[in-house]
Amino acid sequence: MSIWKRQLTLEELNRTSKGTMVEHLGIIYTRLDDDSLEAEMPVDSRTQQPFGLLHGGASVVLAETLGSMAGFLTTREGQCVVGTEINASHHRAVASGTVRGVCKALHFGQSSQVWEIAIFDARGKRCCTSRLTTATLG
């Protein structure tokens, strides 16, 4: 059974990124299952820090992008979701390629949600774990 209340295709999700930081960083939604949302982000000059590694802030952008969109997909018409807190633990460096974020719900309440976003390198090794708390408005 799906947790999503809004039914959007991957193509529709990716269209929401036009003209935003999400598009600028090259984040693309790649998978929408009954209980998870995934996206990929390139590790390139847009997302690397000066020493050539994936910038921790870029990982956090990927995590918040996934958690916020997942939160939106669980709301009804007239509601919206805003992030209230995010944290990230960086486990290993990534210098090139693509990273993949996998977002799953940890908690659904009437006014708040908590999402875990695991980010993996191209070899499937976890490089970051993030948790996003959102407030549901409306």
Q: Catalytic residues, which ones?
A: 64
- Residue with the two structure tokens 């709301």: 75
Q: Looking at the DSSP assignment, which residues form a beta bridge with residue 31?
A: 38
From the number of C-beta atoms within 10 Å of its C-beta (0-12, 13-18, 19+), residue 112 rates as middle
Cβ atoms of 49 and 55 within 8 Å: the answer is: yes
The stretches of 27-93 forming alpha helices (DSSP H) are: 56-73
Which two tokens mark 42? 């390139």
